Amino acid sequence: MIVAETRVSGTLDEASRAGFKIIAGYIFGDNTSSSSVNDKISMTAPVSMQLQAEKINMTAPVSMQQNDGQWLVHFVMPEKYTLDTLPTPNNPAVKLRELPAHNYAVIRFSGFTGAIKVDKKITELMTWLRDKGIKPISEPEMARYNAPWSLPFMRRNEIMVRY
């Protein structure tokens, strides 16, 4: 899959808002293409976040909350695009990247994605992996699938880790 991504600092909530705003700007027209200026790209799901920090020992509990952490926030681009056909971001903070296919272990949950709940879900997933003898090979990622105005009980969220 191809993603548009940016790195932002702050708490989980601060980084989520800042990263979303930067990438949303790109897909809503802050870009340049060979055919025209300001191409709009369809919104897709999920919107993902991953803490970019020093390597963390992958045992439970693992936390995605870090006050001065760098977060990688990305949107998945619609599958009709390639790296060659996507418009060029006007904002240098937006990078386009192709990600190879991977296997993920995932825990799904609804509601809001506050730091306490995210930490709890990371702990649950990492404990399950440890109990099954599965060794994670990445830091946990949080994926959100719904618009911010969706009712909490209707929201689909995931904590994902590659194995």
Is residue 50 within 8 Å of 99, Cβ to Cβ? no
Q: What is the pLDDT of residues 36-70, one digit of tens each?
A: 656 788 888 888 888 775 443 333 333 343 445 78
- What is the C-alpha to C-alpha distance for residues 110 and 115, in angstroms, rounded to an integer? 14
| Predicted TM-score (pTM) above 0.95 | no
Which residues constitute the domain of residue 11? Answer: 2-162
**How many structural domains are present in the chain?**
1
CA 74 to CA 142: how far, in whole Å? Answer: 11
On the question of a cis peptide bond just before residue 89, with omega within 30 degrees of 0, the verdict is no
Q: What is the pLDDT of residues 89-132, one digit of tens each?
A: 999 999 999 999 999 999 999 999 988 999 999 999 999 999 99
Query: How many angstroms separate the Cα of 63 from the Cα of each of 22, 30, 90, 132, 145?
Result: 24, 33, 33, 20, 21
67: amino acid identity, one letter: N
Q: Which residue has the tokens 């999920």?
A: 46
CATH number at residue 89: 3.20.80.10
